[in-house]
Amino acid sequence: MAFFLCYNIDMLFGTHVSAAGDMAEAPARAAEVGAECFQFFSRPPQGGTGKPVTDELAKRFIANCKKYKQAEWYVHAPYYINFASANNRISYGSISIIREELERASLLKTKYLMAHLGSAKDLGQKKAMTQTVDGLAKMLKGYKGYTQFLIEISAGAGSVIGDTFEEVAEIIERVEKKLRKPKLIGVCFDTAHAFASGYDLRTKTSVNATFKEFDKVIGLNRLKMSHCNDSKAELGERKDRHENLGKGFIGLEGFKAIVKHPKLQKINLILETPKKNPIDDPKNLKILKQMRGK
């Protein structure tokens, strides 16, 4: 039931929108602010069960994506996921919830589902990595759905897992080796998280260097989409603090370099910037579209 919309451009811009009330209204909310693609939560991000994805809901959702000319859509996993928790209720719950989210997202013909993997504070780095790898392998075993799972680059706060390219690459390699399935897992690059973790994105030169390193360590073929957020935290400060474009420490020059980067033109950008004012999303999207047009 997949469909594809024709654009004369490659890189598309979107934002995270609310799916509260009626999930099928999310595409209209995205179109209202000028988005070409969008991201949403399919269940409450802080806890609670998600509304069942019935055949009727899935049909209305997909029909509205087409009606409102949304090229792709993505699901963000809940925030409470932690594959490395010493609490079995949390670690095993993370496995079952993400698998369930993948199945739900597949019914909605969602392109990608991304998740933060959790924190190593309970177990220490080595044991946490092993438990995370084992948990991801269990979560993905036998999965044949439409939606691809992505690891999201983390901001490096505390003992967070997945804040370096090397750590993400190791997790992917170990999980895929365990399942004997290459090209199974992709990556979501969050600009604010990467910047806070020490990857410079402020200039064309630094953007080129950062993605050259990403390609060397992880591989650009793994990069499927990016969260496009300026950062209230300074370079390497290891704090997850999103800011509107041009208002943070990355700055517009860095985002223009990302938008114009020749090797990133198949990667769509999703805003997770503050929504303090109804014009914030339209304003940020306009900035990106202007950069694309130059």
Distance CA 274, CA 281 (A): 8
271: closest CA among 233, 229, 241, 231? 229
Distance CA 224, CA 228 (A): 13
Q: How many helices (H) and strands (E) does the chain have?
A: 9, 10
Contact in structure between 86 and 122 (CB atoms under 8 Å):
yes
Cα–Cα distances in Å, from 59 out to 4, 56, 62, 65? 16, 5, 5, 10
Judge whether 152 is annotated as a binding position. Answer: yes
Judge whether 193 is annotated as a binding position. Answer: yes
Judge whether 25 is annotated as a binding position. Answer: no
Judge whether 234 is annotated as a binding position. Answer: no
Judge whether 240 is annotated as a binding position. Answer: yes
Q: Is the dihedral of CA 290, 220, 161, 109 positive or negative?
A: positive
Contact in structure between 196 and 155 (CB atoms under 8 Å):
yes
C-beta contacts of 92-95 below 8 A and 24+ residues apart = 94/118, 94/135, 94/139, 95/135, 95/138, 95/139
Judge whether 116 is annotated as a binding position. Answer: yes
Amino acid at 112: Y
Judge whether 10 is annotated as a binding position. Answer: no
Q: Where are the beta strands (DSSP E) in 49-205?
A: 73-76, 112-115, 148-152, 186-190
Contact in structure between 159 and 120 (CB atoms under 8 Å):
yes
Distance CA 265, CA 18 (A): 27
Distance CA 95, CA 81 (A): 9
Q: Could you tell me which residues are annotated as the binding site?
A: 76, 116, 152, 190, 193, 227, 240, 242, 272
Residues in binding site for Zn(2+): 76, 116, 152, 190, 193, 227, 240, 242, 272
